[in-house]
Amino acid sequence: MDSVCDNNKRRPCITMPGKPAASTTCASYREPTDAEIEESERAVQALMQRFRDRSARGECTDCGAKIAEVRQVGRCVYAEPCGHRVGQGDADRVRKALGL
């Protein structure tokens, strides 16, 4: 478990703030530019807005298909007819949230 939690063992070429210096270097590593960070943030915000919009319309957040029903499989909740996972927890609560 230590190797999973210890960043120096998982990513030995990256020094994280407040952690020991990297134990090796990686020729491929580079910091993203400000423009790349901004573009990534825009993409994440657009994805989250699409998720909220589709959820509000009762659509699958993955493919946009109208959700006719949800089914419980273990802890997961899947949309029908597309079959994509739309959450975890109780299918009855998801039905209520979607107005089904």
The answer to whether the pTM exceeds 0.85 is: no
- Half-sphere CA count of 13, side-chain side, radius 13 A: 7
10 Å CB burial of residue 75 (0-12, 13-18, 19+) is exposed
Angle at 66 between CA 63 and CA 68, to 5 degrees: 125
Per-residue pLDDT for the chain (100 aa), expressed as one digit of tens each?
344 455 445 566 777 778 777 766 777 777 888 999 999 999 999 999 999 999 889 999 999 999 999 999 999 999 999 999 998 999 999 888 888 8
